[in-house]
Amino acid sequence: MEAMDNPDLIALLREAVPNAQLEEAPGIDPQPTIYASRDDIPALTRALRDRPELAFMLLVELTAVDYWPREPRFELVYLLVSIAHRRRMRLKVRLHGDDARVTTASDVWPAANWLEREVWDLFGIVFDGHPDPRRLLMPEDWEGFPLRKDYPVQVKLAPRTTEPLQVTEEEFRANVMKDRLSRDRA
Amino acid sequence: MPDIRTETMTVNMGPQHPSTHGVLRLVLELDREPVRAASPTMGYLHTGIEKTPEEKKWQQVIPLVERMDYLSAQSNSMAFCLSVERLLRLDIPQRVMDIRLLIAELQRINSHLVWLGTHGMEVGAVSVMLYCFRERELLLNLNEMLAGFRMFPSYMRVGGLREDLPRGFHDAVRAFLDRFLPKLAEYEDLLTKNEIYLKRTQGVGIISREDAVAFGLVGPIARAAGVDYDVRKYFPYLGYDTYQFDVPTETRGDVYSRYLVRVAEMKESVKICRQALERISPTGAFAVDDPRVTPPPKDRVYTEMEALIQHFLIYSQGFTVPAGEAYVPVEGPRGEHGFYVVSDGTNRPWRVKSRAPSLLACQALERMIVGGLIADVIAVIGSIDVVMGDVDR
């Protein structure tokens, strides 16, 4: 495995995409992790794939993490592999909850098509320019985004048989906060 | 003579079709026999299994991840344990790593046998199915011997293994390996040069090397197309770099090449298993010596106050994992998989994301079947070895 640390990779990416806002992130995995700005994603993804010294042809995974209630709450994560250079890297993008959208990468890596649909389906992050922006796993008429941390899975109410379950905004917030407080802090 | 009116026909294949390996639904547009368009639909098996771990303690996640890709159960739990152990910065004993490696290779043979059996049956070789399941039964017996559970043993734990190897395990595995290689040769006799099998599989469902990489295909499908990417060689874990084995590849990228690659992989797995058996001592350390994650032995729990407290802490609160994120890729039966695990420093995971090779294989399915015949669709679905539990999670 060729050794490559964050500054090397950042220098290469700066050369490929001048003016890109890049920031190295700490991590314990033996691979570089880089935070990028949302606006640089189209140029960066192309450079990562096409530059022969990078050649990250294989998009292994594209997923998101929700850090609600912190803002920016979403982190989009691209796990990349360069088969030619036996190298891995992780590209991350921070997204605000009220403006969770990013340019699609499905024209760079066709593999991103369904992975982005899954992220849209479960997190509600919009991918601009996506060729097929439908839900992937949930039914198409589903409301809400289940993997968001404020999705009401923990709401407990007395069972009612005559009317559908209705949760007010206050009940919903109270339930989610109760659940968060019950997590054992280290 | 009047013009013959032709129009395409839309056919639903699945989600209850017997050869779609679970609940994959394909909407096919047919122009008589050839397939003009295909649109895979999934989600029928979606159980929110990535949301559930956020409510569970770290150790309780293991039975869940084993049920995602139910044909590579122990490979999944191993990948999860490796990621969490990296976050915990644990130093796992070499013996535990060798045992895990042995179990993962047996799991690969197990998964490939189920694949060979079902794929053979779908293209008309029913006897192969019966034979493969006979051999797989012996592997399930090994699991039962190991942990008392045949499909999902939950034998891997964060920090090591649940308990030490049972007495006689080495001999049982050796007996299986000795029996298995001649049996595998028999299955090859049934298929490799079988005229009918060749006609059903050669030149069918081709995917090029470039497309395989672009669609994120890994494992046997990519290796059948000439991509020699194997995590065991590229990013070694568990000490795979100290074992002697080859990565079989083919170049044509059709259904037949995938068959050849998987059969060759089973033979390589047998080689690896034999080397691992040489290294594993019958008794020894089976978990890391760290009181945070490993419960003390029962005789100490019954006699020492500290051990009793430790036992209760581990079984009631679990353990906390330092904040951070980790992803350890492993080579499962279906290619690279792993768990992207995020911790916020509590005793429950903040996010557990499984990298699902079957999902990406399903995505590339359209590319492989459009332009072919409807009868080939069955052969191709079989050859990409999708597990719907892994696709839908």
Domain of residue B83, CATH code: 1.10.645.10
Q: Collect all residues of chain A within an 8 Å Cβ-Cβ radius of residue B329.
A: 60, 88
CA B240 to chain centre: 17
Nearest by CB to A58, which of B86, B213, B348?
A: B213
Q: What is the mean pLDDT of residues B122-150?
A: 89
B182: cis peptide before it, omega within 30°? no
B318: pLDDT strictly greater than 80? yes
Q: With contact defined as beta carbons under 8 Å apart, do B199 and B363 qualify?
A: no
Structure tokens at B109: 């043979």
Interchain contact, A79 vs B342, CB within 8 Å: no
A185: pLDDT strictly greater than 60? no
Pairing of the two strands A101-103 and A126-128: parallel
User: Nearest to residue A121, comparing CAs of A95, A108, A105, A140?
Assistant: A140
**Domain contains B40:** no
**Domain contains B334:** yes
pLDDT in tens, B14-50: 777 766 677 888 888 888 888 888 888 888 888 888 8
pLDDT in tens, A86-105: 888 999 999 998 888 899 99
Q: Which of B22-31, B86-95, B107-116, B154-163 has the lowest mean pLDDT?
A: B22-31
Which residue has better confidence, A181 or A107?
A107
- CA of A170 to nearest chain B CA: how many angstroms apart? 22
* Interfacial B residues in 98-137 facing A (CB < 8 Å): none
In the block, tokens 């032709």 appear at B6
What local confidence, expressed as pLDDT, does residue A183 receive? 67
Q: What is the mean pLDDT of residues B163-167?
A: 90
CA dihedral defined by B272, B274, B280, B283, rounded to 10 degrees? 140
Contacts of A98 (CB under 8 A, 6+ apart): none
Q: Which of A154-163, B122-131, B339-348 has the lowest mean pLDDT?
A: A154-163
User: Nearest to residue B247, comparing CAs of B225, B264, B222, B271?
Assistant: B264
**Domain contains B11:** no
Determine the residue type at B368: M
Q: ∠ at Cα B18 (B15, B20), nearest 5°?
A: 55
Q: ∠ at Cα B296 (B295, B300), nearest 5°?
A: 150
A159: pLDDT strictly greater than 80? no
**CA closest to B351 among chain A residues:** A65
B137: pLDDT strictly greater than 70? yes
Number of independent structural domains in chain B: 1
Q: ∠ at Cα A77 (A76, A82), nearest 5°?
A: 145
Q: With contact defined as beta carbons under 8 Å apart, do B345 and B320 qualify?
A: yes
Q: Does A82 touch chain B (CB under 8 A)?
A: no
Interchain contact, B215 vs A111, CB within 8 Å: yes
Neighbours of B228 (CB within 10 A): 12
pLDDT over 90, % of chain B: 36
pLDDT in tens, A61-91: 999 999 888 888 899 999 999 988 888 899 9
ipTM: 0.86
Q: Collect all residues of chain A within an 8 Å Cβ-Cβ radius of residue B51.
A: 146-147, 153
Residue-wise DSSP of B261-302:
HHHHHHHHHHHHHHHHHHH--SSS--B-S-TTTSPPPHHHHH
Predicted confidence band of residue B377 (pLDDT cuts 50, 70, 90): confident
* Interfacial B residues in 153-172 facing A (CB < 8 Å): none
Q: With contact defined as beta carbons under 8 Å apart, do B66 and B154 qualify?
A: yes
Predicted confidence band of residue B178 (pLDDT cuts 50, 70, 90): very high
**Domain contains B45:** no
pLDDT in tens, B217-267: 888 999 999 898 999 989 998 889 999 999 999 988 899 999 999 999 999
Interchain contact, B392 vs A137, CB within 8 Å: yes
**Domain contains B212:** yes
**Domain contains B20:** no
pLDDT in tens, B320-357: 899 999 999 999 999 898 999 999 888 889 999 999 89
Pairing of the two strands B330-332 and B35-41: unpaired
Interchain contact, B216 vs A147, CB within 8 Å: no
User: Measured between alpha carbons, how far is A87 from A1 in angstroms, rounded to an integer?
Assistant: 7
Q: Does B329 touch chain A (CB under 8 A)?
A: yes
Beta carbon pairs, A and B, within 8 Å? 107
What local confidence, expressed as pLDDT, does residue B109 receive? 93
Provide the residue range defining the domain that includes B102: 52-392
B3: pLDDT strictly greater than 70? yes
A1: pLDDT strictly greater than 50? no
- CA of B169 to nearest chain A CA: how many angstroms apart? 34
Interchain contact, B327 vs A29, CB within 8 Å: yes
In this structure, what DSSP letter does residue A90 have?
Answer: E
pLDDT in tens, A170-184: 888 887 777 777 665
* Interfacial B residues in 361-380 facing A (CB < 8 Å): 362-363
A165: pLDDT strictly greater than 80? no
Interchain contact, A29 vs B328, CB within 8 Å: yes
**Domain contains B197:** yes
User: Measured between alpha carbons, how far is A35 from A27 in angstroms, rounded to an integer?
Assistant: 12
What local confidence, expressed as pLDDT, does residue A186 receive? 44
Q: With contact defined as beta carbons under 8 Å apart, do A164 and A142 qualify?
A: no
What local confidence, expressed as pLDDT, does residue A5 receive? 60
A138: pLDDT strictly greater than 90? no
User: Nearest to residue A177, comparing CAs of A158, A160, A155?
Assistant: A155
**Domain contains B28:** no
Interchain contact, A27 vs B324, CB within 8 Å: yes
Q: With contact defined as beta carbons under 8 Å apart, do A10 and A27 qualify?
A: no
Q: Does A3 touch chain B (CB under 8 A)?
A: no
* Interfacial A residues in 4-63 facing B (CB < 8 Å): 27-29, 57-61, 63
- CA of B218 to nearest chain A CA: how many angstroms apart? 9
Q: Collect all residues of chain B within an 8 Å Cβ-Cβ radius of residue A65.
A: 325, 342, 350-351
Interchain contact, B320 vs A137, CB within 8 Å: no
Q: With contact defined as beta carbons under 8 Å apart, do B268 and B101 qualify?
A: no
Predicted confidence band of residue A2 (pLDDT cuts 50, 70, 90): very low
Q: Collect all residues of chain A within an 8 Å Cβ-Cβ radius of residue B326.
A: 28-29
Neighbours of B48 (CB within 10 A): 15
In this structure, what DSSP letter does residue B243 have?
Answer: S
Per the prediction, chain B carries an average pLDDT of 89
